[in-house]
């Protein structure tokens, strides 16, 4: 029974974890369940498989040929059966190097796919007709050609299964060899002297390709010799056995965690479905009351349509469908400014009865009251209070809910503290900025703009007019920012940089085209300018006026 049921929901019917989870749990979302059931394989490097892009291309081509009907997602395990069927139909034998083999066959695949005028449903095309063959004696009217066709297709299916079995066996052999080889390498690192390292070296060197998934008759023979030699050491065999047990324990733990996660996911789904049903039913009750009291309002037709939608949708107990429906209803209530009225209605509808029973000490009522405050009234502190009361009476769900909402409240409080601190920091920064602006404003009120002209005789005589207005330094009327680069408007590769040395003294660096870096130390207090040109090695003081 378990095996037959598993085929309805599992990509791999022989996967035990998939079978148990499917049979023993009520699966709500089958697609999500299937996606979570792909158990990762534990081991070293897997034998090389085609890349995701190559696999996607293969999936598209085989789909056109009617040999694959799954998603185009780059998962080679899904398309492997279709690929081996294609090989069998084309009388192509498989090779050891799967990646190279697929590259070689891709052109033929594309050519065949182009020749196909329309896709054929692979499930219809690939139906197993073994039962028709076995029924040959009881159905004398069946056409002999159909019987022969059935036999041939049954043989093809059997050959395909044999090919897959051989490939799986090959992968298993490679994985076992990888584990054995890796354990040997780690055993040698322990410093044990069971082996003659010089005698072992060549055998290890001949088998290094195993870790990359390389295999074949020669490598199988090399590994057989290595295993025969190393099996003579009881110390190594004990080490290898210990590692195998550790791997088995790790795999069992991974499986246990996956099963526990699936159980929790199923419980979460059921809880969410329950919550959504309660919310939708509350909205339905509210809208019914609203329609009764406001039957000629402008939105009465819309309210009626929403009630019809609820009635037709509640039969579909799918989490996603209920979530969408609840979202649509909440949006409708909000867009029509009914949120406040709705919350008051829910409070008057739900809380009094629950509160009366909860105060009498009913643990389940206390838990449900906590859910109402958390999910509907959005009052986490009240919800926590009732969760704790229910948990003290041994309600496990209330205890779990209390822990979750504590974390939520702690995070909310931490975020609130952070917001307050950030707001305070912003306020202080703004106060500093305002004070600095006022101070600068007062300084500029009494500031006297200074001008001076300085003559220099580097290469030839020339004059520079400098000025300072309290905000910027000007060179020949061109404004230079203080503390940041001022780009040359003609070429951005050249610039000025002004550094304040004192209130009226500045260092002006200028990267020029012809003279390289030239630096002026401009002193407006003493009417002096020192000019330095790195390229010429020149250094000259100038008195200014």
Mean pLDDT of the chain: 76
Greater confidence (48 vs 95) lies with 48
For residue 302, pLDDT beyond 90 = yes
Tokens at residue 275, please?
């919550």
Alpha-carbon Rg for the chain in angstroms: 40
Residue 143 pLDDT grade (very low, low, confident, very high; cuts 50, 70, 90): low
For residue 293, pLDDT beyond 80 = yes
For residue 256, pLDDT beyond 80 = yes
- Residue 479 forms beta bridges with which residues? 474
Q: Please tell me the predicted confidence (pLDDT) of residue 25.
A: 40
Phi-psi region of 163 (alpha: psi -120 to 50; beta: other; left: phi over 0): alpha
- Averaged pLDDT, 97-113: 78
Choice among 87-96, 194-203, 309-318 with the minimum mean pLDDT: 87-96
Q: Please tell me the predicted confidence (pLDDT) of residue 492.
A: 67
Give 514-527 pLDDT, tens digit per residue. 556 778 888 887 77
Distances (CA, A) of 474 to 177, 469, 509, 514: 79, 8, 13, 21
Give 368-425 pLDDT, tens digit per residue. 888 878 877 778 888 888 888 898 999 888 888 888 888 888 887 777 777 887 887 8
Give 351-371 pLDDT, tens digit per residue. 777 788 888 888 888 888 888
Give 199-247 pLDDT, tens digit per residue. 888 888 888 888 888 787 888 888 888 888 888 888 888 898 998 999 8
Distances (CA, A) of 215 to 45, 181, 182, 334, 471: 13, 13, 16, 65, 77
Greater confidence (490 vs 507) lies with 507
Q: Which residues contact 542 (CB under 8 A, 6 or more apart)?
A: 454, 455, 456, 528, 529, 530, 531
For residue 426, pLDDT beyond 50 = yes
C-beta neighbour count of 318 within 10 angstroms? 15
- Averaged pLDDT, 444-465: 72
C-beta neighbour count of 486 within 10 angstroms? 19
Q: Are strands 450-456 and 462-468 parallel, antiparallel or unpaired?
A: antiparallel
For residue 130, pLDDT beyond 50 = no
Helix, strand, or coil (residue 10):
coil
Tokens at residue 169, please?
């066996």
């Amino acid at each position: 029974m378990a095996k037959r049921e598993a085929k309805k929901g599992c990509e791999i019917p022989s996967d035990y974890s998939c079978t148990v989870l499917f049979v023993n749990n009520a699966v709500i979302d089958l697609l999500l369940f299937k996606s979570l059931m792909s158990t990762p394989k534990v081991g070293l490097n897997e034998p090389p498989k085609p890349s995701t892009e190559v696999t996607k291309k293969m999936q598209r081509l085989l789909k056109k040929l009617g040999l694959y009907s799954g998603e185009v997602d780059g998962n080679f395990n899904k398309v492997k059966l279709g690929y081996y069927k294609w090989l069998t139909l084309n009388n192509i034998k498989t090779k050891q190097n799967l990646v190279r083999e697929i590259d070689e066959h891709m052109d033929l695949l594309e050519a065949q796919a182009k020749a196909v005028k329309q896709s054929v449903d692979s499930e219809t095309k690939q139906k197993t007709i073994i039962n028709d063959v076995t029924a040959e004696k009881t159905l004398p009217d069946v056409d002999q050609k159909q019987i022969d066709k059935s036999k041939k297709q049954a043989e093809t299916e059997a050959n395909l299964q044999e090919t897959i079995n051989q490939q799986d066996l090959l992968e298993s052999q490679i994985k076992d060899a990888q584990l054995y080889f890796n354990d040997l390498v780690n055993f040698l690192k322990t410093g044990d002297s069971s082996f003659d390292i010089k005698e072992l070296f060549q055998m290890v060197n001949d088998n290094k390709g195993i870790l990359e998934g390389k295999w074949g008759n020669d490598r199988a023979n090399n590994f057989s010799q290595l295993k025969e030699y190393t099996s003579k050491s009881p110390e190594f065999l004990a080490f290898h056995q210990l590692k195998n047990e550790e791997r088995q324990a790790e795999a069992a733990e991974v499986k246990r965690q996956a099963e526990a996660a699936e159980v929790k996911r199923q419980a979460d789904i059921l809880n969410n479905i329950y919550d959504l049903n309660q919310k939708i039913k509350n909205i339905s009750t509210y809208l019914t009351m609203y329609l009764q009291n406001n039957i000629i309002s402008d939105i009465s037709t819309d309210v009626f349509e929403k009630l019809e939608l609820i009635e037709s949708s509640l039969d579909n107990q799918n989490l996603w469908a209920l979530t969408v429906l609840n979202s649509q209803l909440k949006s409708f209530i909000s867009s029509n400014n009914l949120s406040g009225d709705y919350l008051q209605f829910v409070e008057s509808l739900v809380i009094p009865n629950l509160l009366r029973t909860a105060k009498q000490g009913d643990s389940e009522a206390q838990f449900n009251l906590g859910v109402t405050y958390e999910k509907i009234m959005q009052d986490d502190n009240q919800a926590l209070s009732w969760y704790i009361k229910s948990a003290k009476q041994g309600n496990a769900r209330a205890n779990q809910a209390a822990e979750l909402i504590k974390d939520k409240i702690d995070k909310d409080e931490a975020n609130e503290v952070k917001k307050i601190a950030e707001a305070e920091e912003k306020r202080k920064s703004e106060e500093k900025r305002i004070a600095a602006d006022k101070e600068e404003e007062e300084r500029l009120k009494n500031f006297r703009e200074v001008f001076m002209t300085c003559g220099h005789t580097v290469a030839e005589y020339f004059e520079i007019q400098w000025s300072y207005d309290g905000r910027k330094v000007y060179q020949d009327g061109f404004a230079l920012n203080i503390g940041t680069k001022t780009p040359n408007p003609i070429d951005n590769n050249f610039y000025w940089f002004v550094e304040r040395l004192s209130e009226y003294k500045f260092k002006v660096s200028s990267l020029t085209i012809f003279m390289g870096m030239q630096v002026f130390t401009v002193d407006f207090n003493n009417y002096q300018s020192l000019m330095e040109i790195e390229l010429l090695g020149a250094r000259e003081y100038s008195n200014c006026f």
